[in-house]
Chains A and B, each alone.
Chain A
């Protein structure tokens, strides 16, 4: 048998979607246009997620809105997006030339608005609709995060499922709730096909010591990058231990070790965001090669044999 005859050891299937490699470009990174989604697909992502969109165009916050520091990154972009209908066109444009699955990401200002956005993105037939109930950067505008309120998450999950026209739905979870595993159970009970864990953490603040000004224009922003990997790995582990639901494990993966930790914790796929800055756009290929080699060294033939092994350890 030649190399190409063997089944792809990295192929992974969850919620009815097959990825040729278990990595996902996370929402908010690159994916504002068809061309940037294609850029990430060419770089080796197993699936690509579009930046979160809502009903109306938004400019987002002034700069600085994305701020690396030595232990990670803070961002408060403020959900800038050209509106759901433009994004639907970008998804269709992407699909014309690309086979790598594409996930939409949506937000609403009210519970019902999530349904309206879902219905309008569904016409572009993304492979999955991710529901951003957990963006920490618009709280002053929208009030409490939906993602911390079980009743709101339950209702939004049902509304989006009803509007999504059989497209699988993943709810993107925040750590700012008492139990992320409990919240994943709520999502499953109300029809979610998967959960994405986790969104950025915090929010946090960085102050310029000379002027005394917080540097982000929004003053505070969600924390991402290597610093949050242990939080994300633990969240995936706790969800998988408690709930039978696919998980896109996202948060702080910047190298092979991080991706392996996510998979061992039970992630069905690994989201990559800030890592594309800290490790460069070669990270997707690095993970693909690294995971193949790692499986071979362990004597495993499929990524499915590796997934969740931490639970038996």
Chain B
């Protein structure tokens, strides 16, 4: 399979907030939940995005404005061409009964995972956590799906951290698997809870990514050297063995690890 670049006209833009939009493209590839695509704005840059939804006709990515590329994406309208290539990486293997957890920016990839779990009739419950109600995109859809909602400020659902609610749900013993996407601190807390409850888990991690095809080495985890763009970004308990840089500041575009910036945030 060759991941050639092609540009596609944007079919639809959904504005969740001025700095948070979903873009619909013609569906031209088969994507597993958790896999990602590289999006290219000619003359600007190319960045990786997980797919937040797929239907018969469209592939959707959801982008938050956090830097030069994502800011430029906020100006993109219907019909404008954006480059896409992929899909890249290793996504979620759907098994149930599962607890599917999305935190912060992880709410986007988890949406496509939830769509596919429902379509394949895999048993699951959804748990979503954001800082404040306005950060929760696809809110109506998640309501209809009966998702558990948690906000740090109590503006929607239960007040608190996603891991607090997770502990309560796990105590009920209904699940055999946990799937999660979101900030690395949350993922590591979920890993610890899953270990404690003897559950299998699949977690979606982020690292600085350049080529997407496993040859530049920039997104490799320290320790085992596994590549987030090929063996990841979704990692199982087995995949996490030997990794030594969890929770550390991520390596940057030069390949060095910055000394003082905190790791594990969302792009």
Contact = CB atoms under 8 A, between A and B. Distances in A.
Given A210-B7, A210-B81, A35 B213 contact: no
B217 A68 contact: no
Interface in B1-37: 2-7
A80 B253 contact: yes
A289 interface: no
B42 interface: yes
A18 interface: no
Interface in A52-67: 57-60, 62-67
A82 B46 contact: no
B225 A64 contact: no
B47 interface: yes
B215 interface: yes
A273 B251 CA distance: 22
A208 interface: yes
A243 B224 CA distance: 41
A68 B4 contact: yes
Nearest to B42: A213
B5 A83 contact: no
B216 A69 contact: no
B121 to A, nearest CB: 33
A217 B46 CA distance: 9
B160 to A, nearest CB: 37
Contacts of A274: 215
A70 B252 CA distance: 30
Contacts of B226: 39
Interface residues of A, number: 45
A304 interface: no
B4 A70 contact: yes
A83 B239 CA distance: 30
In this complex, which of A42, A208, A274 has the most chain B Cβ atoms within 10 angstroms of its Cβ? A208
Contacts of B223: 35
A274 B2 CA distance: 12
Interface in B200-245: 210-218, 220-227, 230, 244
A38 B225 contact: yes
Interface residues of chain B: helix, strand, loop or mixed (majority): loop
B174 to A, nearest CB: 38
A60 B214 contact: no
Interface in B29-82: 38, 40, 42-47, 81
B171 interface: no
B225 A39 contact: yes
Given A30-B215, A63-B38, A211-B81, A69 B4 contact: yes
Interface string A134-157: 000000000000000000000000
B97 interface: no
B182 to A, nearest CB: 24
A281 B244 CA distance: 22
A133 interface: no
B255 A82 contact: yes
A104 B4 CA distance: 31
Interface residues of B, number: 41
B254 interface: yes
B83 interface: yes
B218 A68 contact: no
Contacts of A60: 210, 253-254
B220 A36 contact: yes
A33 B81 contact: no
B198 interface: no
A31 interface: yes
Nearest to B47: A63
A88 interface: no
Contact of A213 (B43, B225, B227, B244): B43
B46 A64 contact: yes
B255 A66 contact: no
A58 B218 CA distance: 13
Contacts of B2: 68-70
B234 to A, nearest CB: 18
A247 interface: no
B254 A63 contact: no
A51 interface: yes
Contacts of A29: 215-217
Given A69-B2, A70-B2, A208-B7, A36 B225 contact: yes
A213 B40 CA distance: 11
Given A64-B38, A66-B211, A208-B83, 19 more contacts: A31-B217, A32-B216, A32-B217, A33-B225, A35-B220, A37-B225, A39-B226, A42-B225, A62-B46, A63-B46, A67-B5, A68-B3, A68-B4, A83-B256, A210-B7, A211-B42, A213-B42, A215-B83, A281-B214
17 contacts: A30-B220, A30-B225, A33-B251, A35-B220, A62-B44, A63-B210, A64-B38, A64-B40, A65-B46, A65-B211, A68-B3, A68-B213, A82-B256, A206-B5, A208-B81, A210-B7, A276-B214
Interface of A: 28-39, 42, 51, 57-60, 62-70, 77, 80-83, 86, 206, 208, 210-211, 213, 215, 217, 273-274, 276-277, 281
